[in-house]
Structure 1
């Protein structure tokens, strides 16, 4: 017991130290350096800088910032008085190289020689220029980091003789593009869950009534098992770590997979609409070619080529920031809808297992991995946004992305786009689809589906609020999983259907069975009942009207679907069925 207590105490101490490290991070903000040429020429241009407001504050408005001469002193690291020019930096902003000494030593020398600011040029990832309280009180000029790439662009665009003004426009808490992302995410979850649930129940009904129906040839849904969930999570962890270490080698593999998967998803979404058109039904002539020997319709082939062409166009022009994001979002939404339609969670128990495991996965790779990596960056955020030291400068396409609409430094500095990963749509979306299927089976007027969709929207809003307050990447599943799981579970408990909801007993089998015992001698025959019924009732009631064969035992879950309290003689009329759960 003593050893276990010591281990627990050590673990708590490490966790407390991690939180202290997180709290002690150097305060930093993004700002702008506005550069113009002294000789005239091109219009001025803004570049991103990372500065520490504890050294000196920058004005919020460019009109209030002083336009000062920039002195190229990058051949020096400015760590000793010998590195200073003979006449100093009077009313100038020197550019110096990073390294060999602290930021305080550099800015102290620059301020002592008359500089009005200091720009430290960095070839590495920008880090906040830190110091201690005494040093902050001593220094009265701003110090900021500027990337080496931006410095080269300044000299190439404006020449060596330039003037610059340092300022820091106020950062909006939320960008308007969050509204667009919210609409796309909630709309995809609602549409995908509705489509998946309706399609699943319809397929089961058609399979029961006519095995040769038109739905027979559709792609079958895949039921997710606990073993599949474990394998999937292990694969996700492995792929994320591999991408972190071998990003430049694997990013093109992911791009290729996305092109194929998204074109398939786009075809799957557009094909049902195409089949409703009453024209162009001509088929391929008789042939012996693979697949074509089935004589598919010509319009389906043209649609497949169109979907493939759309994904190829995106693949070629994926780095065009002006419009390529629109194609990526359209393909991504189609991919999510296709996945929600194809992957099926058969029970709420499977839903809970999947969501909780991915909840831990998301939190670990966003909040815990910064303490395990040398750079101190989150593996999830680093991979999602693309490593800053990537030679390819490619971004992973497995996200919805919308450019920032506000005039924000982040549009130039850190993230010109707001991102939402596909996993933050698909994982809760599978639960929404399950809720819709359960609604149809127990005839609950889609109360589970609506409640879970609203809970997803609330969870997404909480995610955006956390993002605005913390100003750092957030694991969206940290907020989405509790909102959707707790809402669904609480609703099932309130309706006294938690047992059925947990086990999925309303539709765990391909064929819903009647709750009654084998048909009695005076009961109606199935064929006669089918002939006498003038209209076709809904799938849940149709299964209840047909007595099962004598050798099949009754299903214990069916009373929740069609009402076990009805006597056998009432089976001839659908109006005698109790739509709600039995007492």
Structure 2
């Protein structure tokens, strides 16, 4: 399980947002209304921002023609209408000029392929005075079936709000996951102390289900492996994405099983065991395993159906992060500082620096996060590509983000589902520090859990700051740039204020040595000191 987590972690810091120059084709005839996606070029076409300001135009169906010339075209019936023609054979500006010369008031270009922002030479822009937009051919066929006796159309492009309530839900999910994961890690440490389990034997393995990062060399190797994995994903995305999907299915099913099993144990749910040939099998474990495997398989089969699969992906993602925070432990604050600082540099480098190194000027982090076939803004940020089918993807996406559908991006949601997203790594990496703080509270017998609560609140503040900067700049941000300073500085300042920095910095090593020497300093004999040391080790301080 730990191996799965270490392979997937490099990809968890990938996140971005998709937006573009999308609008709405409003079709009506009396009381019946339909709305469809359209894509336009705001520097070329002047389209109203509200429906009330949009001009109502009669729909003229010429989808049997490409409109590359005016031959056999009767301009009389076309005057003042919204003309629909097929895409292809000639460029957009030529079609627009023919439609304009025929008296049409708007041009709709029906496309069977992905909708891209219509463009032309700069000299052509001034020649076209009517709105021009691309629409899906399948949408026009649907509209003509709904309105067989004719219809009126309006073109408008409501601006997407700078703030969407989905961000609040994303914030709540992230803070909940970090808080619960940190609490679970500390509770497990307290259980080990109560049970008197031994500490780690120096190899970083606390028990069969946990992996501890205890040396700077391990941390350096860990981060180096993450860099290698991300670069490999950049160059071999088409093949490696399926490896990540399989890993996610296995790891998330295992994680969900561990979470549900622990939850049922905590609430006192009993187990029914069956014996067969001297082997005992837990019925509860079998049922939980069946449910978890089924959910993981369902996600794997329907992973590209954006209408609802995000619910299951977020559920599996929360379980994945919780199990990660329980499984991976950091032994002291020094390791926390090294790991979080290196991952901060990793995040910033692959988001802000790699665009200067890649041929297309795209950051490696964003390219891997979106996938090579993803839509969204390209190049200068003004071009947009919308798939022909809004609910199915022709490319595979990495399952390493929490996703919440945006509520108020009306035009964008018509063109393709829009999500507010946050990488799992932006939950797990600071969450490891929160988990360490809770374990330190357990070691120091802090009944008020001051370190854990303070660090969890600092994470919340850092995530709010991330979203504020993202909304202000209207571009994705490397969240660790804000989360790491907030959590590390809060923990450091608190330890200094409580005069416990030495213990906080050294972690388990300081605790074991301090407890083993205390009887000697008080005048106890050597045997008593040895007994105290052994007893301390049996309390599971690891």
TM-score by length of 1: 0.71
CA separation of 1:140 and 1:338: change in aligned 2, threshold 3 A: same
Q: How many residues get paired?
A: 489
Check the 8 A contact 1:204/1:510 in 2, yes or no: no
Deviation of the 1:193 alpha carbon: 0.7
CA separation of 1:260 and 1:426: change in aligned 2, threshold 3 A: same
Check the 8 A contact 1:438/1:504 in 2, yes or no: yes
CA deviations 1:195-249 (Å, max 9, x no partner) are 11231243245335899xxxx9762343354344334334433443444444443
Aligned to 1:409: 411
Aligned to 2:186: 197
Aligned to 2:21: 29
TM-score by length of 2: 0.75
Which of 301, 315, 326 is matched with 2:300 structurally?
Answer: 315
Aligned to 1:470: 473
Relative to its length, the structure with more strand (as a share) is: 2
Is the aligned partner of 1:256 residue 2:241? no
Give the match's secondary structure for 1:513.
Answer: helix
CA deviations 1:153-194 (Å, max 9, x no partner) are 433653798754210113222211222111111011011011
**1:329-408 paired onto structure 2 within 5 Å:** 329-386=314-371, 387-388=373-374, 392-406=394-408, 408=410
**1:159-170 paired onto structure 2 within 5 Å:** 164-170=153-159
Gap regions ≥5 residues in structure 2? 1-18, 201-205, 376-386, 388-392
Check the 8 A contact 1:248/1:392 in 2, yes or no: no
Give the match's secondary structure for 1:44.
Answer: strand
Give the match's secondary structure for 2:254.
Answer: helix
Q: Which protein has the larger Cα radius of gyration, Structure 1 or Structure 2?
A: 1
CA deviations 1:293-328 (Å, max 9, x no partner) are 4x3433223222222222223333434444432222
Check the 8 A contact 2:434/2:452 in 1, yes or no: yes
Give the match's secondary structure for 1:517.
Answer: helix
CA separation of 1:250 and 1:52: change in aligned 2, threshold 3 A: same
Q: Return the alpha-carbon distance in structure 2 between the equivalents of residues 282 and 358 of structure 1.
A: 45
**1:105-254 paired onto structure 2 within 5 Å:** 111=100, 114-119=103-108, 123=113, 126-127=116-117, 129=119, 140-144=129-133, 146=134, 150-155=136-141, 158=144, 164-204=153-193, 206-207=195-196, 219-223=209-213, 225-254=215-244
Give the match's secondary structure for 2:492.
Answer: helix
Q: Return the alpha-carbon distance in structure 2 between the equivalents of residues 422 and 446 of structure 1.
A: 25
Q: Return the alpha-carbon distance in structure 2 between the equivalents of residues 510 and 318 of structure 1.
A: 51
Check the 8 A contact 1:518/1:549 in 2, yes or no: no
CA separation of 1:548 and 1:129: change in aligned 2, threshold 3 A: farther
Aligned to 2:440: 438
Q: Return the alpha-carbon distance in structure 2 between the equivalents of residues 245 and 297 of structure 1.
A: 45
Q: Return the alpha-carbon distance in structure 2 between the equivalents of residues 284 and 501 of structure 1.
A: 47
Deviation of the 1:403 alpha carbon: 1.8
Q: Return the alpha-carbon distance in structure 1 between the equivalents of residues 214 and 108 of structure 2.
A: 55
Give the match's secondary structure for 1:461.
Answer: helix
Q: Which has the higher contact order (CA 8 A, sep 6+)?
A: 2
Check the 8 A contact 2:47/2:155 in 1, yes or no: no
Give the match's secondary structure for 2:407.
Answer: coil
Q: Return the alpha-carbon distance in structure 1 between the equivalents of residues 199 and 488 of structure 2.
A: 36
Check the 8 A contact 1:65/1:165 in 2, yes or no: yes
Q: Return the alpha-carbon distance in structure 2 between the equivalents of residues 439 and 413 of structure 1.
A: 50
Deviation of the 1:520 alpha carbon: 3.6
CA separation of 1:513 and 1:136: change in aligned 2, threshold 3 A: farther
Aligned to 2:9: none
Deviation of the 1:430 alpha carbon: 0.4
The two structures, once aligned, show a CA RMSD in angstroms of 4.2
Q: Return the alpha-carbon distance in structure 1 between the equivalents of residues 471 and 120 of structure 2.
A: 24
Deviation of the 1:54 alpha carbon: 6.6
Deviation of the 1:397 alpha carbon: 2.1
Which of 48, 51, 59 is matched with 2:41 structurally?
Answer: 51
CA separation of 1:362 and 1:317: change in aligned 2, threshold 3 A: same
Give the match's secondary structure for 2:415.
Answer: coil
Check the 8 A contact 1:52/1:130 in 2, yes or no: no
Q: Return the alpha-carbon distance in structure 2 between the equivalents of residues 47 and 86 of structure 1.
A: 28
Is the aligned partner of 1:426 residue 2:411? no
Deviation of the 1:131 alpha carbon: 7.2
Check the 8 A contact 2:86/2:109 in 1, yes or no: yes
Check the 8 A contact 1:70/1:95 in 2, yes or no: no
Check the 8 A contact 1:411/1:417 in 2, yes or no: no
Check the 8 A contact 2:438/2:449 in 1, yes or no: yes
CA separation of 1:380 and 1:115: change in aligned 2, threshold 3 A: farther
Check the 8 A contact 1:243/1:250 in 2, yes or no: yes
CA separation of 1:280 and 1:480: change in aligned 2, threshold 3 A: closer
**1:76-115 paired onto structure 2 within 5 Å:** 86-87=73-74, 90-91=79-80, 92-93=82-83, 95=85, 97=87, 111=100, 114-115=103-104
